Chains A and B, each alone.
Chain A
C-alpha cells in the first residue's frame, strides 16, 4: 500500500490537451474519487497512473518511487476496467489467478490464493465457469478478485459500476467500500456519477477540462463549492444558480420573480446558489406556482415557478400536504444556506 502523487501531470493527444498541470495527492489507504463530466480527463488521469497512457509532462509517484516511465507491470497497481476486461476464454479460476501466473507464482500457491479470494467474494461455486456464463455483477466480482489477489499497492477503478443496473450498482458500491475498508488499500475510483462519488469517497476530486476544479471531503465540497461548475455538478437535484443583485441585505433576481433576505452578503451583482433542499415552500417570501411534483418516495422534487424564474426544490414526504401542481406557495431560503458566486469569475465569494 502506498500513497500516489501526481505532480504537474499533463497529457496531450496531438494538439489537444486533455489533462493540464494536474497536482494531486492521493493519500495512503484513502478512497479517492475522480468525478467530472465526460471528457474532463478523469479516465485519462487514471490510465496515466496505471501506466496505460504515457504522460506528456510531470511526474507520478507511487509511495516514494517515481513510476512515470515505468511499464504498468512494474508499478504494482491493479485496475478494474469499465467493461471488466475479463479473459473470456479463461475460467473464473484462471482469470483470478492470472496476475499471479504472470508473476511466476507456483501453481499450488495460486490455487490457494484463488480459493481464498473466491470465498471472500462469494465466487467459489462459479470458479469453473467462463465469464460469458456470469451475470454483470458476478463478472464485476471476478474483476475485483483479479485485482485484489496480488495485494497491489493501489487499486484503480475505471467506472466499474456503470454497466450494472441500479439495484446491483448500489449493492456493489457497498461491497467495494467494505472491501476497501477491509484491505485498507489506496483506491482511486473514476466516475461521472456525483452521487457515487459522494457516497464512496474519503476524498472527492472534481475535474473539469483536464484540471482540478475542487478537491476535499465530500461534505466540504458539497457545503462549500469552489465555483458555479462544482456547485451545479455536485448534488442532486442540482443547485439553483440565480443571477441577480444584493442590495440592502436583500437579493433580487435579475429576471424578476425572486426576492430573498441575505444576511451579511456583500452588496453588488452576484450569482446566488440555493440548494433545492434549502428552498423552503412556506407561507411568506416570494410567490410561486408549483409546476411539477416528482415523487421519489420519502421526498419529492418540486418545480416551482416564481414569475419568470424556474426553481427546483426538495420537499420531505411529511411536508407534502398541499403541495400539488398548480398550487400557489411562498418561497424562502433556509437561513444561512445561501451561496454567493462572483458573476465575472464564477468563483465562490
Chain B
C-alpha cells in the first residue's frame, strides 16, 4: 500500500467504525421490521417501512411541524440577526463587551434553555405570566396554536447570536469600494442595502441559513424539556417522532426509515443551496 494511503488508513478506519457502521446498520434496520421487544421475529421487509411512511399521517404532520418551526425560527433569526449585525458594525464604543454579551445565550446547553423557559413561561409560576396578570392580560404560551411558535421564539433567543456572528463577520469582510461608489452615486440607504449589501452578502447568508436551518431541523431538546410534542401533536417535530417511535415504542426499523427520509430531504436541501452558492461564486 502506498505511503499516503497508509497515512490515511487510521482516519478511514475510525470514520468507518464511528460513522460508517451506524449508518449501514441503521439502513439495514430500516429494511427490516426490527423491534427491540421482538428481536426474535425480525425479518427483512425490503422497502415496506418506506412505503408505510407514505401513508403515515403522523410522519407527514411531524415534517410539517418541523418545517413550520424551521421557517419561523430561522426567518426571524435571519431578520433580527441581520439588523443586529448591521447595527453592531457601526458601533464605536464598548464593541467587545457588547459582542461577547450578545453571544452568551449560545453557550447554554439547549436542554437547560428549554427548562429555563418552561419555568419562565409557566402559567402559574412564570414571572412573565404574573406580569401579564397584573396588566389583566393572559396568554397561553404552550397552548394549541401557540406552543410551536413559543418554541421557535426560544430558538430565536438562543441562536440569533449565531446568525449575528456569521453575518457580522460577513459584513466586516465586504469590500468598502462598492459602498463608497454607491454613496457617491447617490444611493439611499435602502437601495444600498437591497442592491449592494444583500447581493454581496448572499454567500454568507446562504451558509448561515443552511447551518441554522439544519440545526433547527434537529430540534429536540426544547420539545423534550417543555412540551413533549403537545398539546396533541402541535409540537411533535420529526426528531421527537423518531425518538418516540424508536426509543419509546421500540420500533427501530420504522424509526430508521424515518431518519433516512429526513437525511434525503436534508441532503437535497444542502445540494440545491450549495449548487446555487457555487454558481453565485463563479459569476
**B63-71, B76-84, B193-201, B225-233 - interface stretch:** B193-201
Chain A nearest Cβ from B233, distance in angstroms: 44
A18 contacts chain B at the CB level, 8 A cutoff: no
Check B177–A81 contact: CB distance below 8 A: yes
User: What does the 1/0 interface line of A62-94 toward B look like (CB < 8 Å)?
Assistant: 000000000111000111010111111110000
Chain B nearest Cβ from A93, distance in angstroms: 14
Tell me, in angstroms, the Cα distance from A79 to B178 when the chains sit together.
12
Which of B181, B187, B191, B200 is within 8 Å of A89, CB to CB? B200
What size tier do the contact residues of chain A reach?
20 to 34
Tell me, in angstroms, the Cα distance from A90 to B200 when the chains sit together.
11
A208 contacts chain B at the CB level, 8 A cutoff: no
Tell me, in angstroms, the Cα distance from A150 to B187 when the chains sit together.
13
Chain A nearest Cβ from B200, distance in angstroms: 7
B185 contacts chain A at the CB level, 8 A cutoff: yes
A146 contacts chain B at the CB level, 8 A cutoff: yes
A101 contacts chain B at the CB level, 8 A cutoff: yes
Check A72–B177 contact: CB distance below 8 A: no
Check B283–A132 contact: CB distance below 8 A: yes
Which of B177, B188, B200 is within 8 Å of A102, CB to CB? B188
B182 contacts chain A at the CB level, 8 A cutoff: yes
A85-B191 contact given A99-B186, A130-B283, CB 8 Å threshold: no
Tell me, in angstroms, the Cα distance from A102 to B183 when the chains sit together.
10
Check A83–B186 contact: CB distance below 8 A: no
Contacts of B181 in A (CB 8 A): 79, 81, 85-87, 146
Check A89–B199 contact: CB distance below 8 A: yes
B140 contacts chain A at the CB level, 8 A cutoff: no
Chain B nearest Cβ from A143, distance in angstroms: 8
B180 contacts chain A at the CB level, 8 A cutoff: yes
Q: Which residue of B lies closest to A146 (CB)?
A: B185
Contacts of A51 in B (CB 8 A): 183-184
Tell me, in angstroms, the Cα distance from A72 to B188 when the chains sit together.
11
Tell me, in angstroms, the Cα distance from A50 to B187 when the chains sit together.
14
Contacts of A79 in B (CB 8 A): 181, 184
Chain B nearest Cβ from A94, distance in angstroms: 9
A98-B283 contact given A52-B180, A85-B178, CB 8 Å threshold: no
Number of B interface residues at 8 Å Cβ cutoff, please give it.
18
Q: Which of A52, A83, A87 has the most CB of B within 10 A?
A: A87
Check B184–A77 contact: CB distance below 8 A: yes
Q: Which residue of B lies closest to A94 (CB)?
A: B195
Check B185–A73 contact: CB distance below 8 A: yes
Check A87–B186 contact: CB distance below 8 A: no
A103 contacts chain B at the CB level, 8 A cutoff: yes
Contacts of A86 in B (CB 8 A): 178, 181
The B195-251 residues at the A interface (CB cut-off 8 A) are 195-196, 199-200, 202
Check A102–B191 contact: CB distance below 8 A: yes
Check B191–A52 contact: CB distance below 8 A: no
Q: Which residue of A lies closest to B191 (CB)?
A: A102
A98-B183 contact given A85-B177, A87-B178, A87-B196, CB 8 Å threshold: no
Tell me, in angstroms, the Cα distance from A321 to B202 when the chains sit together.
65
Tell me, in angstroms, the Cα distance from A286 to B177 when the chains sit together.
55
A98-B177 contact given A87-B195, A87-B196, A90-B195, CB 8 Å threshold: no
Which of A88, A102, A132 is within 8 Å of B186, CB to CB? A102
Tell me, in angstroms, the Cα distance from A89 to B180 when the chains sit together.
16
Tell me, in angstroms, the Cα distance from A89 to B182 when the chains sit together.
14
Check B178–A103 contact: CB distance below 8 A: no
A102-B283 contact given A83-B177, A87-B195, CB 8 Å threshold: no
Contacts of B180 in A (CB 8 A): 52, 72, 81, 85
Contacts of B202 in A (CB 8 A): 89
User: What does the 1/0 interface line of B150-192 toward A look like (CB < 8 Å)?
Assistant: 0000000000000000000000000001101111111110010
Contacts of A130 in B (CB 8 A): 283
Chain B nearest Cβ from A198, distance in angstroms: 27
Which of A72, A83, A88 is within 8 Å of B184, CB to CB? A72
Q: Which residue of A lies closest to B186 (CB)?
A: A73
Contacts of B191 in A (CB 8 A): 101-102
Tell me, in angstroms, the Cα distance from A50 to B177 when the chains sit together.
13
Chain B nearest Cβ from A97, distance in angstroms: 10
Contacts of A132 in B (CB 8 A): 283
Tell me, in angstroms, the Cα distance from A89 to B202 when the chains sit together.
10
Contacts of B182 in A (CB 8 A): 87, 98, 102
Check A89–B177 contact: CB distance below 8 A: no
Check B186–A103 contact: CB distance below 8 A: yes
Q: Which residue of A lies closest to B192 (CB)?
A: A102
Check B195–A78 contact: CB distance below 8 A: no
Tell me, in angstroms, the Cα distance from A209 to B267 when the chains sit together.
59
Check A78–B187 contact: CB distance below 8 A: no
Q: Which of A51, A85, A103, A130 has the most CB of B within 10 A?
A: A85
Interfacial residues, chain B to chain A (CB-CB below 8 A): 177-178, 180-188, 191, 195-196, 199-200, 202, 283
What are 28 A-B residue pairs whose CB atoms fall within 8 Å in the complex? A50-B184, A51-B184, A52-B180, A52-B184, A73-B185, A73-B186, A78-B184, A79-B184, A81-B181, A84-B177, A85-B177, A85-B180, A86-B178, A87-B195, A88-B200, A88-B283, A89-B199, A89-B202, A90-B195, A90-B199, A98-B182, A98-B185, A98-B195, A101-B191, A102-B186, A102-B187, A132-B283, A146-B185
CB-based closest 6 A-B pairs: A85-B177, A73-B186, A85-B181, A99-B185, A89-B199, A102-B187
Interfacial residues, chain A to chain B (CB-CB below 8 A): 50-52, 71-73, 77-79, 81, 83-90, 98-99, 101-103, 130, 132, 146, 150
**Inter-chain pairs besides A73-B186, A81-B180, 14 sampled, C-beta below 8 Å:** A52-B180, A77-B184, A79-B184, A84-B177, A86-B178, A87-B195, A89-B200, A90-B199, A99-B185, A102-B185, A102-B187, A132-B283, A146-B181, A150-B186
